[in-house]
Structure 1
Amino acid sequence: MHRKKSPQYARNGAFLQWLVCILLASIQAALASPLATFYDNPSLTPPISLVAVVYLFSIGKHQSIPDPASR
């Protein structure tokens, strides 16, 4: 099966999406402990950190580029 190479803007968009999602996940994981301390509830740290992984699972969900020939 022959696959066309993605346009440059699509590759840049995919890279940017990876970068933003990794950055958001890192920020949320880093802030989990301070947030738990702020709310005086240390048991919040693991769930807040775990939910940060959702950003990483969302990568690639919306990366399909419509084929102009299929219109």
Structure 2
Amino acid sequence: VVVPSRIVQMEEAIRSRDFASFASLTCADSNQFHAVCLDTSPPIFYMNDTSHRHVPILCLLLLLNTLAGAL
């Protein structure tokens, strides 16, 4: 039920060029995927050093855009 509704939301965000919704959905899906990978036994570590270095930068950009009132 979650995946089909999320796909509809993502398609609508793309169709309407709503970047704020697109970014929010993408971040939520990325976080969910990361949590599932870490919850497996054994855990799946798919992010490399470069990916880990980019996370704080992306979080800062998201915070700055949120404070500015737009994504």
- Would you call these one fold, judging by a TM-score over 0.5? no
- TM-score tier by shorter-chain length is 0.3 to 0.5
Superposition TM-score, scaled by structure 2 size: 0.38
Structure 1 or 2: more helix by fraction: 2
Structure of larger gyration radius = 1
* Relative contact order, higher structure (CA 8 A, sep 6+): 1
